[in-house]
Amino acid sequence: METDLILSAINELHQKENQALESKDVTAYTAMFDDGLSFTPFEKPTINKRDFTIDLKKYFSGIKEIHSSYYRIKSSMEDEVFTEKIARKSVLLKPKMLVFSKKQTIQTEEIYHWKNIKGEWKVIALEIVLEEKY
């Protein structure tokens, strides 16, 4: 039963995450991350929350639209940390010249490590383990 409650809370946070992504709202998106976040982009060095937020602002500024969906591949709970692996598909529209846009699809596999901190689930670590762009 407790796992169902955790999954329900995490699913709600993922819905907020997708809404924040699609509206390119950096503040709402980064609210789900703990201040001590460890973020590991695909095949790049790990960075902290501050640097991740800076990179995210730059990323969002170069995108016209984002549409994103995900599904959970697997999940587990160990030592008060809820870990899940999700597959995400994002379709981006990037401005190209004045009226045209370039479409790009990005598929990722992401590992989230969540911890309940003062009654709120926060991401303490996020790792992008697979990324394909086309």
Tens-digit pLDDT string for the chain (134 aa): 588 899 999 999 999 999 999 999 999 999 999 999 999 999 999 999 999 999 999 999 999 999 999 999 999 999 999 999 999 999 999 988 777 889 999 999 999 999 999 999 999 999 999 999 99
CA–CA gap between residue 126 and residue 89 (Å, rounded): 16
**pLDDT at position 1, please?**
52
CA–CA gap between residue 64 and residue 41 (Å, rounded): 22
Q: CB–CB of 92/106 below 8 Å? A: yes
Kindly report whether the global pTM for this prediction surpasses the value 0.85: yes
List the CATH number of the domain containing 81. Answer: 3.10.450.50
Range of the domain at 55: 1-133
Total count of domains within the chain: 1
**pLDDT at position 3, please?**
85
